[in-house]
Amino acid sequence: MSCPSAIAAGPATLPVSPAEVEVAARRIAGRVVRTPLVASAALSRASGHPVFLKLETRQPIGAFKLRGAMNAVLALDEAARRRGLVTASTGNHGRALAHAAREAGVPAVVCMSALVPANKVEAVHALGAEVRIVGRSQDDAQAEVERLVSARGLTAIPPFDHPDVIAGQGTIGLEIVEDLPEVSAVLVPLSGGGLAGGVALAVKALRPSARVIGISMARGAAMAASLRAGHPVEVVEEDTLADSLGGGIGLSNRYSFALCRALLDEVVLLTEDEIAAGIRHAAEAEGEVVEGAGAVGIAALIGGKVSLDGPAALILSGRNIDETLHRRIVKETAV
């Protein structure tokens, strides 16, 4: 699926600016890990071009989400923080917000659907947040967030459609271009678009010629469906190995859809078997434990869904996969 690559539309038309990403980088410095960009010998051989892995798996919560959540929490005024924080999450953003809230010494409530894996629910509990399991979709969880904002006056920190969250995730793009100035392609997991939009914003500002390719699963990819339609649409949320990429983007999406529509050069969708192959390759060839969402860049490359014409960076967005599931995938040749 090709998308218009429109930094041509001009930064002034975008709902978040590259300058906001630079502010976020200064704000979160020392509070999140500046993750390594490491060469992959196996993927470089297979693609015929240098391939590097951006290891967001090294964040304290095991996922990139800490960047956006930390930036958003630090950007709040003290009164908003003290009212307590609330979010909807497919797992990793909830964990990130719980971590940031604990650092700030304020309470947090994380609303999740019954589709969120148990290991991710337990991890949020362990960080001291209140957890609410509501319905079977991200939309159901978001409805509970809105109720709690109204009933208890909590401050909502959305998982992706928020300028401070997007700017925080965009710091990954800054780091990639700093470490690999000649980068020609960045493969980024695509869900609600906070990560993809933020990374594309930073990369295109610094390296306009670089392609930014969003990678998602074929089962219930809401942003991909919305980009095809030309506006945010609802999709049926389904079980998938890339569970962190599930959920809708919100029909009233204000930020991430516009960024993805303007800045992504292409969107690639993967089968469950392809995602499993990416998880397996990460373990066997790279020595990295990654969840399904974190493996999609690898999966797209080894599955022949993306071709390269120069150095590429793949964002390994998270490692928070159930251990039993991971062992099964690594041992099997298909899901």
Least confident of 54-68, 250-264, 304-318, 321-335: 321-335
Do 83 and 155 meet the contact criterion of CB atoms below 8 Å apart? yes
Average pLDDT over residues 71-94: 96
What is the rounded CA–CA span in Å between residue 165 and residue 93? Answer: 10
The three-class DSSP label of residue 142 is: helix
Average pLDDT over residues 27-38: 98
176 in the same domain as 258? yes
171 in the same domain as 152? no
Residue 103 CB neighbours (<10 A):
15
pLDDT tens, 240-275?
999 999 989 999 999 999 999 999 999 999 999 999
207 in the same domain as 126? no
Percent of the chain with pLDDT over 90: 93
Q: What CATH number does the domain containing 135 carry?
A: 3.40.50.1100
319 in the same domain as 171? yes
Total domains, the chain: 2
Average pLDDT over residues 3-29: 77
Domain membership of residue 1 (yes or no) is no
Domain boundary among 123, 156, 189: 156
Domain boundary among 156, 179, 202: 156
199 in the same domain as 118? no
281 in the same domain as 182? yes
With 80 as the cut, is the pLDDT of residue 1 above it? no
173 in the same domain as 91? no
pLDDT tens, 141-181?
999 999 999 999 999 999 999 999 999 999 999 999 999 99
Residue 335: the pLDDT is 47
pLDDT tens, 126-151?
999 999 999 999 889 999 999 999 99
Domain membership of residue 26 (yes or no) is yes
Residue 139: the pLDDT is 86
- Inter-CA distances, 18 with 10, 66, 195, 198, 204, Å: 12, 19, 14, 9, 9
With 60 as the cut, is the pLDDT of residue 73 above it? yes
What is the rounded CA–CA span in Å between residue 68 and residue 114? Answer: 24
Nearest of 126, 81, 84 to residue 109 by alpha carbon: 84
Domain membership of residue 2 (yes or no) is no
State the angle between helix axes of 256-263 and 222-229 in degrees (0 to 180), rounded to the nearest 10: 70
71 in the same domain as 58? no
50 in the same domain as 123? no
What is the rounded CA–CA span in Å between residue 115 and residue 101? Answer: 24
Percent of the chain with pLDDT over 70: 96
The pTM score is 0.94
Task: Give the confidence band of 201 by pLDDT, cuts at 50, 70, 90.
Answer: very high
Do 133 and 113 meet the contact criterion of CB atoms below 8 Å apart? yes
Domain interval for residue 72: 65-156
